[in-house]
Copies of this chain bind each other. A is one copy, B any other.
Amino acid sequence: MFGVTILGNNSALPAYDRHPTSQVVTLDQYQFLIDCGEGTQMQLARYKIRRSRINHIFISHMHGDHYFGLPGLITSMGLLGRDTDLHLYAPPLIKPIIDLMLSAADTQFGYTLHFHPLESEGMLLDDAKFSVECFRVFHRIECWGFIFREKKKPRRINKQAIGSYQLPTGYFERLKMGEDVITETGEVVLNEEVTLPNAPAKSYAFCGDTLFNPIVAEKVKGVSLLYHETTYLKGLEDRAHLRFHSTTTQAAEIAVRANAENLLIGHFSSKYEVLDEFLQEAKDVFPATSLAIEGVTYIIQ
């Protein structure tokens, strides 16, 4: 399973039981936390996501609605007896803040917190099954987007087609990787004759707080699901620009330019109680749009 669960979909001021930004990306057995606004640990409990399964946390920037829940979460992990390493990818300024808080509380964790400062665009995590990259977005202070990519999946053996070759299964791994093989009798078996392509590798891009900038579309080109902030409805482009945020149509325009397959919108201003117009306005530009609703998991197809 590859999906993203929304824990907070509101902008800076919590309102209408909408919470500040936080999301959990699930990729098979892995769970990654993106941003950690105040109350994230309570939202994890509310939606029955186990804190202990999260080993990697990504923080986009140093505005409080994106990380004020982090000290509480990592402290609770310690109180719950965690002993697994935790990796934090965040702006460098977060480290002295956490260090001061821990020292003031006279607290030591029973686990190791590895701090990976975000300083340049590129690969953060490169596993056999997935990768995570960061890229710059355009906010009032330095701010990062993240892309989660499945690794390309192996091809599937076409059992019907391979039957005529009577190949030993020892050849299968190379065939799955896309190679042609030569049998012991010297016969060439073309890969495309005996294998089927697997589902294409999927990807998820998170663009938290950012003003409208086509450079963002270049960074997230071709993603399966793009999350892009929409703090305001259309018509408020000037206000959005002044505050380094985006409107519905601007987010949808990024999805169009990126040739994304699907768009997820969130970070709604607390000036809006009802969200229907957000969805309609974005869909008018990019039909495959969904509203980010707290507690809902969006499967990346």
Q: A94: CB under 8 A from chain B?
A: yes
Measured CA separation A93–B97 after assembly (Å): 12
Q: Which of B69, B71, B96 contacts A100 (CB 8 A)?
A: B96
A146 CB, min distance to chain B CBs, angstroms = 19
Partner of A13, one of B76, B93, B106: B76
Expressed in whole angstroms, the Cα–Cα distance for A106 and B61 within the complex equals 11
Closest residue of chain B to A141 (Cβ to Cβ) is B106
Residues of B within 8 A of A79 (CB): 12-13
Contacting A75 at CB < 8 Å: which of B64, B97, B101, B140? B64
| In the complex, chain B residues whose CB is within 8 Å of the CB of A68 | 38, 68, 71-72, 75
**Are B13 and A104 in contact (CB-based, < 8 A)?**
no
- A295 CB, min distance to chain B CBs, angstroms: 15
Pairwise interchain contact A100-B93, C-beta atoms closer than 8 A? yes
A101: nearest chain-B partner, CB-CB: B97
B76 pairs with A104, CB closer than 8 A = no
Please encode chain A, from 33 to 44, with 1 for each CB lying within 8 Å of some chain B CB and 0 for all others.
Answer: 000001101100
10 closest A-B pairs by beta carbon, nearest first, are A62-B104, A93-B104, A38-B72, A68-B72, A64-B75, A39-B39, A97-B100, A106-B141, A63-B105, A14-B42
Given contacts A38-B38, A68-B75, 15 further A-B contacts (CB under 8 A): A12-B76, A13-B76, A13-B80, A14-B41, A14-B42, A14-B45, A19-B42, A20-B72, A38-B42, A38-B68, A38-B69, A38-B72, A39-B39, A93-B103, A97-B97
